Amino acid sequence: MWTQSRVLRYQGAIHQGVNAFTDAETAYQGALDAARTGRFRALEGEALISRGDLRRLQGRDDDGRKDLDRALALFDAEGLPREAAAARFRIGSLELERNRPHVAEPILRQVLQAGPVADRLTLAHAHRYLGGIDRDRGDRVAARDHFEAAATTYRSLDSPLGQANVADDLGRLELAAGNAAAAKRWFGDAEILYRRAGDTVWEGKAKAKREEAERALAAGKSVVVAPVPVVAPPPPVPPVVQPPERSLEPAEKPSLSDRLVDALIEELPKIIIGVVVSLLSLLGIWLYSRLKKVVSD
């Protein structure tokens, strides 16, 4: 059941990647059923996360939120803080997509409270999203702190796309403050980083913003305006967590055969690449020997 759940989740991701959403949901449901049958709670949560992301992509926000809440409840109950932080981040980002920053903010702050146990990329994303919330309500100081924290982590992870997004965020922050010179620099950095990340669409957008900042600078609009007073954050709104669909019995460990098959699945791409490289090497040796023989004849 362990292997079956993982394979079905991979199949769902493949279907989702080609927009075959019905097939993807069927595969995710199969992964969920297999995980529940084997009482593999972590896999059950992962399957719920995958299905929740799919439903978000389809615009089924309420259904997606229910899946994410159930995954969070499972991870919390099983004592998996890293996975719980990732689930909370997804819930927070979903609420931002629904234009509900007052709901998203306390959830994203809970992600930061997870600290070192959380995935560093998840923490960087949470800082960036919180920076956007602070910027939109006029708290530029807090926004800059979050953006800089995100940028530091993205740099340490060598994530050009993450760095580009933060540079764009900081450019927007400076432009809104009337500092066109700083905005121009940030948008220029974003343009370069998007190019490095291979994102030509956002590279073009960053270029347009840089040119906008240049025009503002040429028009003498580079004076920094007075800072906007810090706006008190809204009262925390705790996430609505749905109970798991079934009781949480102690999880069983996967059998030895399941673990071996799972390891084989993980290593299969490397094995295939190794075989292909070996065959190409043999083909090259054979062609070289044939060519050498033809030349000698």
Within-domain flag for 194 = no
Residue 220: predicted pLDDT: 76
Band (104; pLDDT cuts 50, 70, 90): very high
Query: Mind spelling out the 3-state secondary structure of the chain?
Result: CHHHHHHHHHHHHHHHHCCCHHHHHHHHHHHHHHHHHHCCHHHHHHHHHHHHHHHHHCCCHHHHHHHHHHHHHHHHHCCCHHHHHHHHHHHHHHHHHCCCHHHHHHHHHHHHHCHHHCCHHHHHHHHHHHHHHHHHCCCHHHHHHHHHHHHHHHHHCCCHHHHHHHHHHHHHHHHHCCCHHHHHHHHHHHHHHHHHHCCHHHHHHHHHHHHHHHHHHHCCCCCCCCCCCCCCCCCCCCCCCCCCCCCCCCCCCCCHHHHHHHHHHHHHHHHHHHHHHHHHHHHHHHHHHHHHHHHHC
Share of the chain above pLDDT 70, in %: 76
175 close to 188: Cβ distance less than 8 angstroms: no
Predicted pLDDT at 70: 96
Question: Quick check: is 129 in a domain?
Answer: no
Residue 264 lies in a domain: yes
Q: Is residue 293 part of a domain?
A: yes
- Residue 271, domain extent: 259-297
296 located within any domain: yes
Nearest Cα residue to 233 out of 100, 106, 91, 97: 106
Indicate whether this model's pTM tops 0.85.
Answer: no
**Pick from 138, 168, 136, 137: which is nearest to 150 by CA?**
168
List pLDDT tens digits, range 75-102: 999 999 999 999 999 999 999 999 999 9
Of 296 and 16, which is predicted with more confidence?
A: 16
**Residue 234 above 50 pLDDT?**
no
151 pLDDT tier (thresholds 50, 70, 90): very high
Burial-class residue 64 by CB neighbours within 10 Å (0-12, 13-18, 19+): buried
For the cut 90, the answer to whether the pLDDT of residue 282 exceeds it is no
Q: Please state, in angstroms and rounded to a whole number, the distance separating the CA atoms of residues 204 and 181.
A: 19
Q: How many domains does the chain have?
A: 1
3 confidence band (pLDDT: 50, 70, 90): confident
Q: What is the pLDDT of residue 67?
A: 95
Cβ-contact 5, 42 below 8 angstroms:
no
Task: Compute the distance between CA of residue 273 and CA of residue 86 in angstroms, rounded to an integer.
Answer: 32
Q: Is residue 37 part of a domain?
A: no
Mean pLDDT of 21-32: 93
Q: Using 50, 70 and 90 to split pLDDT, how confident is the model at 5?
A: confident
Average pLDDT estimate for 53-70: 94
The overall average pLDDT reported for the chain is 82
Confidence of residue 276 (pLDDT cuts 50, 70, 90): low
C-alpha–C-alpha distance, residues 178 and 190, integer Å:
19
Please report the pLDDT score of residue 140 as a whole number: 94
Q: What is the C-alpha separation between 111 and 151, in angstroms, rounded?
A: 17
Dist. CA 6–CA 31, nearest whole Å: 7
Task: Tell me: pLDDT of 18 over 70.
Answer: yes
Q: What is the mean pLDDT of residues 240-258?
A: 40
**Residue 290, in any domain of the structure:** yes
Highest mean pLDDT among 45-59, 247-261, 275-289 belongs to 45-59
Which pLDDT value is given to residue 258? 53
Residue 240 belongs to some domain of the structure: no
